[in-house]
Structure 1
Amino acid sequence: MKELDSLIKDYVKNYQQLKGTETNWYEPVIGIAAANNPMFKELKNIISPTHALPTDFIKDAASVIVFFLPFQEHIVKSNIGNIESSREWDIANIETNNLIVDINKYLHEKIVEKGYISTVLPPTYNYDEKELISDWSHRHVGYIAGIGTFGINNMLITEKGCCGRIGSIITNMTLTPTIREKHENCLYKYNGTCGNCIDYCVANGITIENGYPYVDKKRCNDQIYNGNIPQYSIGIGDACGKCMCNVPCSLKNPVKKLK
């Protein structure tokens, strides 16, 4: 685990210089889940019956590696206010998706060198466009791996907040699972305070119904694909992120200081 941990962190640290990206990242948050963790089967009820198991990708899967790539503060601040996402936010999402693919390929090479195999999973666009349901949810896998818990905006809140992107890798290499904390990182779920993400959602897609948070995925998707999608030389700006910015959990776990 320590070797893989260093490989990922060093790769991210050097990526801007290696690829000439505009974006730079804080140090990743990394977790491990055992492939036979029963929580993976629960995702078939929570998300969809079609949600994959680790063994659907690799028959003898043993571990799932998950990494959260936190955006730097200036990127988050750029996306505060206005209805449409900022250029910096869009570029960060595009470049981070590319980074996730490159981390997958890099780790795959290292894992193969040790005599094992691994997947190279796409960071996004792996969902049913009609139902808006993914058959491999990196966020839920991150929850299982113990790197964070869900906010009422359905974003995973890690020790370095929720503003960033998540990738995951399945391998038949046996690794020690991360110990999952049993507390919520969302202030609303922890003690009933906050709820700022509801106010900052420009699509009015986040509500509390009978005490339970609900995210209207269609409203969220319609806001992103509203016919005003910015085109950049490196890809399209199909991101929003307004509910993640200027909130207590943007860049940190706000519950940590209260425990």
Structure 2
Amino acid sequence: MKQEIENLIHDFIANYQEKDDIKSSWKEPIIKYAAADDPMFGELKKAVSEDHLMPEDLMPGARTIIAYFIPFSKGIADSNIEGKYSSDQWAKAYIETNQLIADLNQHLKEKLSKKGYQASLIAATNNFDKERLISDWSHRHAAYIAGLGTFGLNNMLITEKGCAGRIGTLVTDLNIEASERSEQDKCLNKAGFNCSKCVDRCVNGSLQKDSFDRHQCYQLLSENDKIHPESELTDVCGKCSVDLPCSFSSPV
């Protein structure tokens, strides 16, 4: 069943970018799994928020969290290197990838249902408290628990294919063996090397070596939303995840 799920994800993404109305392109995804009863989910109430949901809150009888990383193509990432605001290509990829994740999770849910299993859908973005800017369900932290990667100085999850992309998660009552979780840092800075390029890349100073001002960061995201007046919310930036040693791979 695990291989069938991974084939479904790979095939869905490959076919999705062949659609005439899709402008973005993606690299092969990485897929990992976490046990719903992993004690680390309880730790998220301390690390993220006391209101952070548990897998059981999203779906009673939860057994597994499927976590996957969809890397952007190099062209999308490179388009976002210059300037203060997000490139049109990056902003478009943000919207299209969020919809891809929503459609993919719906597809997986339907396939699992035919096999007698259930799944709970979680939005790829905007599932956060608008005052505190803290998520009710952190895809990045769930993906970390699944062994998808480790956190960088830029607060992004750095996977074996870097951090320039989007993360999706799905909670299901299908029991899949949890992936191994490595504690080896993939961030050069956290691994003890002299690197803070993501800090240098931050265009409004919200990211520092020893701090992160999420409200100042979101102010810039909101400015980008006004600059990219698509029909959907485009609160995006991405400057701190491109043109880095960890944009497309784990440099450690």
TM-score by length of 1: 0.94
Matched AA of 2:247: S
The answer for the alignment partner of 2:248 in structure 1 is: 251
Rate the CA distance shift 1:249–1:204 in 2: closer, same or farther, 3 A: same
Change (3 A) 1:123 1:19: farther
Report what 1:150 is aligned to. Answer: 151
| Structure 2 counterpart SS, 1:115 | coil
Residue of structure 1 equivalent to 2:212: 215
Give 3-state SS (helix, strand or coil) of 1:189's partner. Answer: coil
In 2 relative to 1, CA 196–30 (structure 1 residues): closer, same or farther, beyond 3 Å?
Answer: same
Cα deviation code 1:83-108 (max 9, x no counterpart): 00000000000000000000110000
C-alpha deviation, 1:234, in angstroms:
5.1
- Per-residue CA distance 1:201-237 (angstroms, 9 max, x = gap): 012011223xxxx221011101111376234555343
1:238 match: 235
Residue equivalent to 1:172? 173
Distance 2:184 2:20 in 1: 38
Give the equivalent residue in structure 2 for 1:69: 70
Superposed displacement of residue 20, structure 1 = 2.9
Aligned to 2:125: 124
For the pair 1:137 / 2:138, whether they are aligned, the reply is yes
Structure 1, gaps ≥5 residues long: none
SS in 1 for 2:237: coil
Taking the aligned partners of 1:96 and 1:183, their CA distance within structure 2 comes to: 28
Runs of 4+ aligned residues of structure 1 deviating over 6 Å after TM superposition are: none
1:21 partnered with 2:22: yes
C-alpha spacing 1:118/1:237, structure 2 compared with 1 (3 Å): same
Aligned residues: 251
In the alignment, what sits opposite 1:201? 202
Q: Contact 2:224–2:234 at 8 Å: present in 1 too?
A: no
Q: Structure 2 counterpart of 1:28, which letter?
A: P
Q: In structure 1, what is the Cα distance between the partners aligned to 2:202 and 2:164? A: 15
1:147 deviates by 0.6
Secondary structure in 1 aligned to 2:236? coil
Q: Does 1:57 align with 2:54?
A: no
Give me the whole-angstrom Cα distance separating, in 2, the residues matched to 1:105 and 1:93: 19
Does the 8 Å contact 2:224/2:237 carry over to 1? no
8 Å CA contact 2:91, 2:228 repeated in 1: no
How many Å separate the matches in 2 of 1:227 and 1:72?
A: 21
Distance in structure 2 (CA, Å) of the matches to 1:224 and 1:66: 25
Structure 2 partner of 1:110: 111
Moved more, 105-114 or 221-230: 221-230
Query: Is 1:88 matched with 2:89?
Result: yes
Q: 1:182 to 1:242 in 2, by over 3 A?
A: same
SS class of match (1:64): strand
Q: Which structure 2 segments of 5+ residues have no match?
A: none
Identity of matched residues, % = 43
